[in-house]
């Protein structure tokens, strides 16, 4: 059993190969020597996408998609599965624990929906705010945080062409509690967050990590996924973006758009005061990182790795031809 240590949990979306573990646990400090372990969601099915991460009430929450349904996996502080649940929220992109409630960004319905957290389920869904009444994605809400007691979200704003978010140049950082826009004309904002003093966000389409004050840092890729380690140290992820047909410097279309792959899939560790940074590449695992979460825990990483490996082989054996023989081999070799 490892001693109490600090880890970074990263969720990955649109993974090329189906998996039961769209999460990686990364030991800190982040460098080439970091131990990296896949984490099983505890769901009896495979997935290619995990998005929002949150923690609170002794639980860790992961939004993911499996069998075309939007679900949340709930793990204990040792990353053991407690339960998974399909929610009314559609296409959950981000989550926040506040007191006894889990707030979800229901991107598919342009709503903020909260659930009461219990030991065995998330119950009593309640819409606390919506961008419109049409009950479908029209503004691409995608992240939520709490800053100075207020709920803050990010939104792309309306696209000028249907299903073409690269045409959305009117993104906003919005204070839901007070009903005011804090920042507008943001090109594809994500990952609104705070270090306790300032409010930060990603301007993903321009590869930027910014504050609503004066801080700005340019990174190589579609910026999305932020986690503060302290007031001055922050982890920011980038994903492979897509280049526009015209050669526009430092412009990254959403990774799901068409175009030539550009940028990198990385996690940066940035010093807010000096703006100095270091990074570690994760393109070997997937093209896109969605969210980051810091954990302080005492974990048996070898056990977690084996659990994820065995469950993945088991689930893939149901869908990959001629893999049952391999699965039987693994069961005989590893008890």
State the pLDDT at residue 255.
Answer: 62
Residue 315 pLDDT class (50, 70, 90 cuts): confident
Tell me the helix, strand and coil percentages in the chain, rounded to 5.
10, 50, 40
User: What are the two backbone dihedrals, phi and then psi, of residue 271, each rounded to the nearest 5 degrees?
Assistant: -90, 115
* CB-based burial, 159-172: b 16+ in 10 Å, e otherwise: beeeeebbebebbb
Angle, nearest 10°, between helix axes 301-316 and 324-333? Answer: 150
Flag whether pLDDT at 166 surpasses 90: no
Q: What is the mean pLDDT of residues 264-283?
A: 96
The rounded distance, in Å, linking the Cα atoms of 18 and 45 is: 10
Q: Is residue 306 very low, low, confident or very high in pLDDT (cuts 50, 70, 90)?
A: confident
CA-to-CA distance for 211 and 31, rounded, in angstroms?
26
Grade residue 312 by pLDDT with cuts at 50, 70 and 90.
confident
What pLDDT is attached to residue 313?
75
Number of structural domains (the chain) is 1
Burial class from Cβ neighbours inside 10 Å (0-12, 13-18, 19+) for residue 324 reads exposed
Mean pLDDT (the chain, rounded): 88
Do strands 233-239 and 266-271 pair parallel, antiparallel, or not at all (unpaired)?
A: antiparallel
Instruction: Give pLDDT, residue 321.
Output: 47
Any alpha helices (H) in the chain, and if so which ranges? Answer: 301-316, 324-333
- Alpha carbons within 13 angstroms on the beta-carbon side of residue 297 total 23
End-to-end CA distance of the chain: 19
Q: Which residues contact 333 (CB under 8 A, 6 or more apart)?
A: none
pLDDT bin (cut points 50, 70, 90) of residue 330 is very low
Q: Which of 294, 165, 146, 287 is nearest to 224 (CA)?
A: 287
Instruction: List pLDDT tens digits, range 114-151.
Output: 999 999 999 999 999 999 888 888 889 999 999 999 99
The two three-digit tokens of residue 168, written as one number? 């959305």
What would the mean pLDDT of 35-40 be, rounded to a whole number? 94
Range of the domain at 49: 5-333
d(CA 32, CA 225): 20
Distance CA 240, CA 286 (A): 9
The per-residue DSSP string of 264-292 comes to: --EEEEEETTT--EEEEE-TTT-S-EEEE
Report the CATH number at residue 14.
2.120.10.30
């Amino acid at each position: 059993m490892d001693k109490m240590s600090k880890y970074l949990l990263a969720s990955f979306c649109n993974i090329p190969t189906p998996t039961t573990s769209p999460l990686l646990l990364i030991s800190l400090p982040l460098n080439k020597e970091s131990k990296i372990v896949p984490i099983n969601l505890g769901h009896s099915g495979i997935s290619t996408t995990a998005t929002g991460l949150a923690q609170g009430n002794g639980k860790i929450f992961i939004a993911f998609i499996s069998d075309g349904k939007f679900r949340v996996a709930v793990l204990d502080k040792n990353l053991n599965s407690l339960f998974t649940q399909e929610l009314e929220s559609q296409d959950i992109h981000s989550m926040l624990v506040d007191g006894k409630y889990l707030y979800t960004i229901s991107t598919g319905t342009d709503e903020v929906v909260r659930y009461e957290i219990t030991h065995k389920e998330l119950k009593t869904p309640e819409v606390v705010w919506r961008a419109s009444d049409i009950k479908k994605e029209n503004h691409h809400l995608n992240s939520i945080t709490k800053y100075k007691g207020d709920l803050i979200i990010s939104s792309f704003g309306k696209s000028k062409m249907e299903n073409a978010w690269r045409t959305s140049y009117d993104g906003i950082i919005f204070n839901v509690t007070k009903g005011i826009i804090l920042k507008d004309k943001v090109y594809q904002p994500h990952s609104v967050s705070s270090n306790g003093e300032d409010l930060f966000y990603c301007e993903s389409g321009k590869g930027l990590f910014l504050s609503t004050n004066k801080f700005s840092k340019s990174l190589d890729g579609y910026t999305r996924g932020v986690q503060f380690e302290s007031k001055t140290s922050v982890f920011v992820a980038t994903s492979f973006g897509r280049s526009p047909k015209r050669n526009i410097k430092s412009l990254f279309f959403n990774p799901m758009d068409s175009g030539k792959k550009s940028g990198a899939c990385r996690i940066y560790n940035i010093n807010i005061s000096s703006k100095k940074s270091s990074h570690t590449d994760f393109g070997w695992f997937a093209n896109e990182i969605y969210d980051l979460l810091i954990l302080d825990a005492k974990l048996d990483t070898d056990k977690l790795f084996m659990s994820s490996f065995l469950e993945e082989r088991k689930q893939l054996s149901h869908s990959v031809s001629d893999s049952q023989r391999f699965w039987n081999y693994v069961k005989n070799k590893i008890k």
